[in-house]
Amino acid sequence: MSLARVIQHEIDHTRGVLYTEKAIKTMTREELKALREKENAKKT
């Protein structure tokens, strides 16, 4: 992971931006659904 990406990630945290909000712009619905299911599986 590049330093620029790490810095952007931290800036997003301070602004309350979630990864999934950005991912919606670049991922297909199927890819986003799979990501959400994976995240939900980790919570249980």
Amino acid identity for residue 43 in this structure: K
Token output for 34: 């799979």
Q: What local confidence, expressed as pLDDT, does residue 35 receive?
A: 84
Token output for 24: 């919606």
The secondary structure of 1-44 as a DSSP string is --HHHHHHHHHHHHHT--HHHHHTTTS-HHHHHHHHHHHHHHH-
Domain boundaries, the chain: 3-43
Q: What local confidence, expressed as pLDDT, does residue 36 receive?
A: 86
pLDDT in tens, 28-37: 888 878 988 9
Overall pTM > 0.85: no
The mean pLDDT value of the chain amounts to: 84
Q: What local confidence, expressed as pLDDT, does residue 1 receive?
A: 64
pLDDT in tens, 1-44: 699 988 988 999 899 988 777 777 777 888 878 988 988 898 76
Distance CA 13, CA 11 (A): 5
